[in-house]
Amino acid sequence: MEVTRENAGASDVLRRVPELSLNSYIEGSQNDRHRFIDNFFSGLKDYGFIVLKDHPIPDALLNNAYALLEELFALKNEQKMKYALKENGFQRGYTPFGTEHAKDSPVMDLKEFWHVGRDLPEGHRYASIYPKNVWPTEIPEFQAIMAKIFRALDDTGKIMLEALTFPLELERDYFSKMMGEGNSILRLLHYPPVPEGVDPRCVRAAAHEDINLITILVAATASGLQLKDRDGKWLPVESDPNSLIVDAGDMLARLTNDVIPSTTHRVVNPDDGTNGHRYSMPMFIHPNPDAMLTCLPSCTGAGAKYPPISSQDFLYQRLREIGLMK
C-alpha cells in the first residue's frame, strides 16, 4: 500500500490506510473479531477508508468481471447509447461519458459507467421505485457474471455493517434490516484516456463524497484514487489486485452524527505519461427507500446535526446535485 509521511518531526510516522483481513472477522477467534471491529471502526473514523484482504469473493470471478468491463466499454457508442436511461436518473444501464459531475463542480467528470441494481419480483413493494436492470445483448454472459458480483458484494456489505453495530451500540441486525432490500448499486466504471484539449479543470472524478452508507470498491486496474485524510492531506490509495477498498458515505455520516464522517476522495488524471484506460467496480450500499436517516442514540453527543430524512428523499436530492436527475 502506498503511504505518505507525516509532517517532518521526531517520530517521522508513516501514514497508512489500514489493511484488514475480513476472514479474521468471519472465521477468527473472539479476539480476532474484536480486533477487526476496533480497527475497522477506527479506520473509518481516522481515514474514512480501509483495505480488505482475505475476503470470500473468488479472484477468478473478479477477473472475469473486469474482462467483461473491457468488452462492454469497447462497444461502439451507438450500441451503448441504446442502454442509456436518462428518465430514471441513469440508475440502471449506461451513463455516457461526461454526464456526471461532483456536487458543486462546474465541469463534468471524465468517465462513463454502467449501473446494475437489485432485481425484484413482480408485485414487490419497491418494484415501482427500483428501475429494472438492462443488459447488453452483445455480451451474453454479462448478466450472469454481474448479478453474481452484485450478490457477493451485497453480502460483504452486510458483514461490514454488522461489524459496526458493536461500537455504535446497535442491535446486530440493525443494518441488515435497513439494507436487506436496499437500493444498492454496482457501478461499472471506465475512465478512458484523457482526451486532448479537454478543459484543464476536468479530472476523472472530482473530489466528492459518496451518497450511500458504505462503498465497497474492487481494487481498480490502474492507480489514481486518492482520499483526503482527516488532516486535509491527499493520500494515494493503492492496494493489491482484487482487494476490496471500503469507505464511508453521507448516509452513514448522517446516522452517526459525523462520528464516522463521509470521506472526500477523487480519481486524478494519470501523470506518468501512460494515459491509459482505467476500470473499477464500486458497490454503493444503500438502505431501503423507507429507512429513515435519523441520528443514532449513541452518537447524539451535544445534539443531532442533521434533521431526519428518508433514504429515498436524500438519494433523489443528491442525484439532482450531481446532474443525474432533474
CATH code for the part of the protein at 61-321: 2.60.120.330
d(Cα 250, Cα 214) in Å, to the nearest integer? 9
Beta strands in the chain (DSSP E): 4-5, 14-15, 19-21, 49-53, 93-95, 112-117, 185-191, 205-208, 214-218, 225-228, 234-236, 244-248, 265-267, 278-285, 292-293, 309-310
Beta bridge partner(s), residue 283: 186, 216
Question: What's the pLDDT score for residue 15?
Answer: 66
Question: What's the pLDDT score for residue 7?
Answer: 42
Q: What grid cell was written down for 203? A: 479530472
* In the chain, domain spans: 61-321
Residue type, 31: N
Q: List average pLDDT for each run of 10 residues in the chain, which is 326 residues long.
A: 39 65 95 97 91 92 95 97 82 90 87 95 91 95 96 95 97 94 95 87 90 92 85 84 92 97 90 83 96 96 94 91 79
Query: What's the pTM?
Result: 0.91
Question: What's the pLDDT score for residue 224?
Answer: 87
Question: What's the pLDDT score for residue 272?
Answer: 67
Beta strands in 123-229 (DSSP E): 185-191, 205-208, 214-218, 225-228
CA nearest to 296, candidates 266, 325, 253: 253
